Every structure is written in C-alpha cells, then in structure tokens.
C-alpha cells in the first residue's frame, strides 16, 4: 500500500492509529493551528502528491470544530495534488438532520454533505447512518458500513435459546431483523412516538417478550431517553435479562450512568466509532463493553484503495459462528 497516505483529525486519533496498525502502515502527521482570531489552519505534514489520501475524522463533540477541521483537511489534501481524497467518517452526527419535520428548518445532513464535496472530497466511507436516505445526500460515492456482524460475534458467546432481539422503533426494525437472523433469534419492535419537546413514548413492544431475555439493538445512544423508556415497557411486559447494543455509544448527559441504574440491564455494548472518556466508561459501572471497528474500516479502506468491492463484505447471510467477518 505504498501509494496510500492516512491522516487523522483530532476527533479520534486512537481509532486512526488502530486502523493504520491493521493496515500495516504509519499514520501520517498533521498539524492543527488556532490563530488569535480563533480561525483554524490544518497542515498535512507528509507528501500527498498523486497519492490515495484517507482522512479519518468522526463528527463528534464539539461537532462544529471537528467539521471545520475536516473541511480544512480535505482542502489541504486537494491543494497538495492528492490523486483521490476519501473521508473516513465512522460517525456522521448530522445524519439525524435528514428531513423537514417542522416549518422553516434546515436539513443539515444534506448541507454538510455538500460542504465536504465542495471542499474536495472524492469519496466517503462511513458507518451506520442514522437514516438510510442520508446516503443519497452525497453527490460523491459513499461506502456505508455497518457493525452488525461485529456486534453479533460478541453476543454468540451467550446462550440465546430464550433470547429475542428488540428494535426500539419500527424505523430500525430492518436492521434488527438482520441482526436477529445472524443470531438465530426472533425479533420484536417498539411502538415509539417522539413529541415536539423531544420526549419519547413507547406504548408497547410488538412481539412475544414475556419470560424472554432481550437484546435491544439501536444505531446510537445519545441521551438515552428511548432506551430508558423501552426498559420500562420491557419490564412491564415480563422481559428477563436485558442487554443493549448500539454502534455509536455517544452517551451524552450522563446517559450511560442512568441506564446502568436499571438492575435488569446485564450489559451495554457499543463500538469505538466515537471516543469515550474514562469517566464515561466508569459511569457504566462495569456494564460497558466496547468493540473495535478498526479491522472492518481498515479492510474497507484496503478494498477502496485496490478497487475491490466493499459491498461484498456484507454478502454473507444467516447465523454466524462467533468469528468476526474479518
């Protein structure tokens, strides 16, 4: 992979280093400077000319700072005559702004996609977008990964004969059904309603929950309102032990600590698409398990660089035996 150059923004350098270790290549240095007027400047401190450049930067808090840094990295790579610039964005925070559900509001997911394209990105590699339609907001190729197989490979260690997979809402039911097939489990979904003040209500879970252990699958956990409301309903419908799985463990505003207070929760599993501080991990009171998506992202990057199919990574169907896809 001599013609590849990988740089990282400041959002998640640990993940970038892990990805480069999987690829067997060095993480190239870069410098972020903040001037007296609060403007940012990015310098890529390695040759980019006619190279396949990958820029690793999940959009996590502070999202606006990391977004501007990413745009500047893209512009720097384009100005340095990179042959191709691929944005590796494991978490796209603006994917939640995907529709006009109130008068006179912006659709941030589309606007930020346009900004990346205008800055000079040729391709995007991302994981588990909040809504499938966000893929179409980009006018450049997008490789959309998911972490279902990594999550499933973790859960097959348990006795799942009395387990059901539950999606918090019908919007995530398709992914939950795919996940349930991997585990050989049935699937259920919550009847969820979100109100204007961002409050969440789940009236019931559609499926046979009584007496069963549960794996709750969601794309991300931010404030945890949906998961906590779902825990209430699952308990009322007679669920047993509950494990919670998500790709993006944001755990904002003390969400992990609030979830850990529920005695029926046996485990919370997320991936490392976003960085977690030690204090946030400690709030899980030993319940949190973090899985690495570095092997999956590294393999996708290798395939992009070599001109191979990325979608072929997800063609395997049915139950898995416990081994990771990679």
Over pLDDT 90: what percentage of the chain?
A: 86
Q: Is 192 a catalytic residue?
A: yes
Please report the pLDDT score of residue 248 as a whole number. 98
Residue 322 in this model has a pLDDT that exceeds 50: no
Residue 315 in this model has a pLDDT that exceeds 80: no
Domain that holds residue 300: 4-146+294-314
Q: How many domains does the chain have?
A: 2
pLDDT tier at 171 (50, 70, 90 boundaries)? confident
Residue 319 lies in a domain: no
pLDDT tier at 296 (50, 70, 90 boundaries)? very high
Asked if 179 and 53 sit in the same domain, the reply is no
Please report the pLDDT score of residue 287 as a whole number. 97
Over pLDDT 70: what percentage of the chain?
A: 95
Residue 127 lies in a domain: yes
Asked if 217 and 310 sit in the same domain, the reply is no
Residue 244 in this model has a pLDDT that exceeds 60: yes
Residue 300 in this model has a pLDDT that exceeds 70: yes
Residue 322 lies in a domain: no
Asked if 123 and 238 sit in the same domain, the reply is no
pLDDT tens-digit readout, 47-77: 999 999 999 999 999 999 999 999 999 999 9
Please report the pLDDT score of residue 1 as a whole number. 58
pLDDT tens-digit readout, 99-147: 888 889 999 999 999 999 999 999 999 999 998 889 999 999 999 999 9
pLDDT tier at 317 (50, 70, 90 boundaries)? very low
Residue 83 in this model has a pLDDT that exceeds 50: yes
What 3 state SS string does the chain have?
CCCEEEEECCCCHHHHHHHHHHHCCCEECEEEEECCCCCEEEEECCCCCCCEEEEECCCCCCHHHHHHHHHHHHHHHHHCCCCEEEEEECCCHHHHCCCCCCCCCCCHHHHHHHHHHHHCCCEEEEECCCCHHHHHHCCCCEEEECCHHHHHHHHCCCCCCCEEEEECCHHHHHHHHHHHHHHCCCEEEEEEEECCCCCEEEEEEECCCCCCEEEEEEEEECCCHHHHHHHHHHHHCCCCCEEEEEEEECCHHHHHHHHHCCCCEEEEEEEECCCCCHHHHHHCCCCEEEECCHHHHHHHHHHHHHCCCCHHHHCCCCCCCCCCCC
Residue 308 in this model has a pLDDT that exceeds 70: yes
CA 295 vs. chain centroid, Å, equals: 14
Which of 99, 174, 192, 235 is the catalytic position? 192
Asked if 282 and 155 sit in the same domain, the reply is yes
- Average pLDDT for residues 297-311, to the nearest whole number? 96
Residue 254 lies in a domain: yes
Please report the pLDDT score of residue 169 as a whole number. 92
Asked if 286 and 300 sit in the same domain, the reply is no
Asked if 141 and 185 sit in the same domain, the reply is no
- Average pLDDT for residues 225-246, to the nearest whole number? 96
- Average pLDDT for residues 224-249, to the nearest whole number? 96
Q: Which residue has the higher pLDDT, 8 or 194?
A: 8
Please report the pLDDT score of residue 156 as a whole number. 96
Q: What's the CATH code of the domain at 138? A: 3.40.50.2020
Please report the pLDDT score of residue 67 as a whole number. 98
Asked if 130 and 220 sit in the same domain, the reply is no
Please report the pLDDT score of residue 2 as a whole number. 67
pLDDT tens-digit readout, 187-232: 999 998 877 667 889 999 999 999 999 999 999 999 999 999 999 9
290, two tokens? 């973090």
Asked if 136 and 154 sit in the same domain, the reply is no
Please report the pLDDT score of residue 200 as a whole number. 85
pTM: 0.93
Asked if 254 and 285 sit in the same domain, the reply is yes
Asked if 179 and 268 sit in the same domain, the reply is yes
Please report the pLDDT score of residue 323 as a whole number. 38
Across the chain, what does the average pLDDT equal? 93
Asked if 141 and 20 sit in the same domain, the reply is yes
Residue 114 lies in a domain: yes
Residue 229 lies in a domain: yes
Asked if 13 and 142 sit in the same domain, the reply is yes
């Amino acid at each position: 992979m001599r013609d590849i150059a990988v740089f990282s923004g400041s959002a998640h350098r640990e993940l970038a280093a892990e990805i480069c270790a999987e690829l067997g290549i060095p993480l190239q240095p870069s410098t972020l400077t903040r001037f007296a007027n609060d403007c940012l400047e990015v310098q890529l401190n390695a040759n980019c000319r006619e190279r396949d450049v990958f820029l690793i930067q999940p959009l996590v808090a502070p999202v606006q700072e990391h977004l501007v840094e990413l745009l500047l990295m893209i512009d720097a790579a384009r100005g340095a005559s990179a042959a191709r610039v691929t944005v590796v964005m494991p978490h796209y925070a603006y994917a939640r702004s995907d529709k006009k559900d109130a008068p006179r509001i912006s659709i941030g997911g589309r606007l930020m996609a346009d900004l990346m394209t205008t800055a000079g990105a040729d391709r995007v590699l991302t994981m588990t977008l909040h809504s499938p339609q966000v893929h179409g907001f980009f006018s450049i190729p997008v490789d959309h990964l998911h972490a279902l197989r990594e999550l499933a490979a973790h859960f097959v260690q348990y006795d799942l004969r009395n387990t059901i997979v539950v999606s918090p809402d019908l919007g995530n039911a398709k992914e939950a059904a795919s996940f349930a097939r991997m585990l050989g489990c049935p699937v259920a979904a919550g009847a969820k309603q979100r109100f204007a003040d961002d409050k969440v209500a789940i009236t019931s879970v559609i499926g046979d929950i009584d007496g069963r252990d549960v794996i709750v699958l969601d794309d991300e956990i931010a404030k945890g309102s949906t998961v906590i409301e779902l825990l209430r309903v699952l308990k009322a419908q007679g669920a047993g032990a509950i494990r919670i799985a998500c790709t993006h463990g944001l755990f904002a505003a003390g969400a992990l600590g609030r979830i850990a207070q529920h005695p029926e929760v046996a485990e919370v599993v997320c991936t490392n698409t976003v960085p977690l501080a030690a204090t946030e991990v400690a709030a899980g009171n030993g319940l949190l398990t973090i899985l690495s998506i570095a092997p999956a992202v590294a393999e996708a990057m290798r395939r992009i660089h070599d001109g191979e199919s990325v979608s072929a990574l997800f063609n395997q169907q049915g139950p898995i035996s416990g081994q990771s896809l990679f």
